[in-house]
Amino acid sequence: MHLFYQPEAPTIAALTEDDSRHAVKTLRLGMGDEILVTNGQGRQFAGVITKADHRQCAFRITEEKITPARPFSIRICVAPTKNLDRIEWFVEKAVELGIEQISFFFSQHSERRVLKTERIEKIAVSAMKQSLQSWMPRIDEAVSFKQLLASVSDEGQRFLAHLPDHEIPSHLFRAAQTNKIYTVLIGPEGDFAEQEIQQALQAGFRMVTLGPNRLRTETAALAACQMLNLLNQ
C-alpha cells in the first residue's frame, strides 16, 4: 500500500497538495481506496479516501500505529559536494538506511558556497515514504563550520572522519558505543583545513577512520551512517 506524508496529520485528515495530485492523478486512487499516512513524527495512520480531489485528497483514519524514536540518533554533517547529485543521493540513501539529522556546512576547502535545501528536503521525504518509515529526518540549512560546531551539543559521541598522515586513528565502528547520540563530521572534497581539524578536536570530536580505502565525500558520509546503524542492529 502507498505511504503518504502529512506533517499535520491527524489534525488535518487530507493529503498535501503534492501528495493529493500523486494519489489521485498518478496512482488513480479513488474514494474508498486504502492508504497509509505518516506525520513524520512516529505516527502512521491507515486510512480510507473519502474525497478523491487532486488538490486536497481527504481520508478517514481507520487505524493508528506508533513507532517510537530509535534509542540512538545519527547526525551526519557534510560539506556540499561540487556536483549536487552526489549530495542528493547521499541524502536518499542515508534516509533509507536510517538517519535522524543531516547538517551541511561550508568548509574552507569546499568549492560550493550555496546550497538550497528545498529539493534535498523533497528527496528525504520520498526516501522516507519509499522505505516505509514514520520518522522524517531533520535537514539543516548549510552554515559555516564554526556555526556548525557551535550547534553540536556536548552530549553523545562526536567523531571526525579524517586520516592524518602520521597515525591511523581507530575505526568508527569500534570507537562508537551502542545507543548513543552520534555526530559525525565528514571532510569536504578538498579535505578539512588544519585549522578546522583543531577546532573540531577542541570541540570534543574524536578522529576516526572509516576503513582502508580513500572514499569520496558522499561515500564516506553514507559509510559512516550505515556503520552506526549496523552497530545498533
Contacts to a copy of itself by CB under 8 A? 89, 93, 96-98, 130-133, 171, 173, 211-216, 219, 222-223, 226-227, 229-230, 233
Minimum gap (Å) between residue 222 Cβ and a copy of itself: 7
Task: Give the residue with the Cβ less far from a copy of itself, 23 or 220.
Answer: 220
Task: Give the residue with the Cβ less far from a copy of itself, 51 or 93.
Answer: 93
The three three-digit cell numbers of residue 14, written as one number: 487530507
Give dist(CA 128, CA 100) in Å, integer.
11
The answer to whether 90 touches 51, Cβ cutoff 8 Å, is: no
Task: Give the residue with the Cβ less far from a copy of itself, 38 or 133.
Answer: 133
Minimum gap (Å) between residue 164 Cβ and a copy of itself: 17
Burial of residue 59, with CB atoms counted within 10 A of its CB: 0-12 exposed, 13-18 middle, 19 or more buried: buried
Minimum gap (Å) between residue 63 Cβ and a copy of itself: 19
Minimum gap (Å) between residue 47 Cβ and a copy of itself: 20
CA within 13 Å, CB half, 64: 11
Taking residue 151's Cβ as centre, other Cβ atoms within 10 Å add up to 14
Task: Give the residue with the Cβ less far from a copy of itself, 131 or 195.
Answer: 131
Distances (CA, A) of 28 to 33, 49, 188: 10, 12, 44
Task: Give the residue with the Cβ less far from a copy of itself, 54 or 70.
Answer: 70
Minimum gap (Å) between residue 223 Cβ and a copy of itself: 6
